[in-house]
Amino acid sequence: MSGYCKANGDCHCSQPFFSTSGSTCKLSCCPKPDGKTCTVACCRDDADCQAGGDKGAYCKSPKSTLHTTPGNGQCRCEAGFAGTTSCEKAEFPAWFIAQVSQLKGGTCDPTAHIHVVPTDGHDRGLCLHLAIPGGKQGSQFWATESWKYPKWTDGACDTGAYPTVVDTEKDYDGWTSQKNSIDGSLLCGGVVLTKATAKAEMVAEVQPLQDATYFHGVSNTQCRETTLKMDGVSDPGECPEAFDIREKHEVDTVCRTGGNLKYCKPQDIVNVTVTTWGESGWRHTISGNHCIEANFTLPNMNETGLCPTKQYSLVLSDQTSTVCRDNGNLKYCAPRDVLVVEVRTRGDK
């Protein structure tokens, strides 16, 4: 405290925590000012800080002795408490509490469940279910991989609609209990993927062609691919790999004979998959004295064709990668969607 007596006999007190009573300086702040008898907030001693239940809190009191220096009038609270002039039980966000409890060896949050029913690809029509031990707030899998599942819905598959489990993968995609742990010590379990089929009465009465053979037809920069020979789509096999952009994908119900569905015999009514592919070919982009070219449409590849080799004749790197066309996991990628992408970086002379 740096109060002193002025020449006129009045006290000069340290602001803002002290005021004069006329003959001396007294501590005039308090933990909860009422605006009348007390207008400045501070803790006066350890008891002020411990009043909210934090028995380990202490006060950096503005008061001083011969052996101490004045403090800033604020409390120092233990973990789980917060405040400036008193320590109260802290209200932390759920994600913070979950992670702190793990770091302290706490219990696991309930397992989170998400599911989706794909409309195309190898798992079309199945219900895929991911069980995430530790919940979304206590799972390292969800912390790092959640961006991959924007179309998945909270909750497990409806077992009434999808009663038959046809596949189960424990430690899905390598996410073991150890890997899924946020701190490496609290092990809540590995991520589990299950696949289930719909019950018989929910399966469409019209079935897709069994062991379908693909046919295709090319028209300018598009290729149509179907599972049944149709007008203009009669060449055997899938569309050539040069047609690498899926522009449209649908399942149509048709009469195998080509006749009107209204008069088609039941045994001739089939579901036909029709996919329209576009052709991107090689594309490139130029940045400074480099040109990057790829045989598949990638972000920022905005120029058609290969790099101008006359100017960019030096091949600095040439890399190939196997990717899934729909950006999904290669392990579950439909064969038609597995692509080998080549990316070359060229420099000028």
Residue 233 is given by DSSP the state B
Q: Among residues of the chain, what percentage have pLDDT more than 70?
A: 83
Residue with the larger pLDDT of the pair 16 and 349: 16
Count of other CB atoms within 10 angstroms of residue 50: 21
What's the pLDDT score for residue 100? Answer: 45
How confident is the model over 94-123, as pLDDT tens digits? Answer: 444 444 444 445 688 899 999 998 876 677
Residue with the larger pLDDT of the pair 210 and 135: 135
**Cα 319 to Cα 60: distance, rounded to the nearest angstrom:** 62
Does pLDDT of 201 surpass 50?
no
Q: What's the half-sphere exposure (Cβ side, CA atoms, 13 Å) at 323?
A: 14
Residue 231 CA to its chain's centroid (Å): 45
User: Taking residues 81-86, what's their average pLDDT?
Assistant: 78
Structural domain boundaries in the chain: 1-91, 112-200, 215-278, 283-347
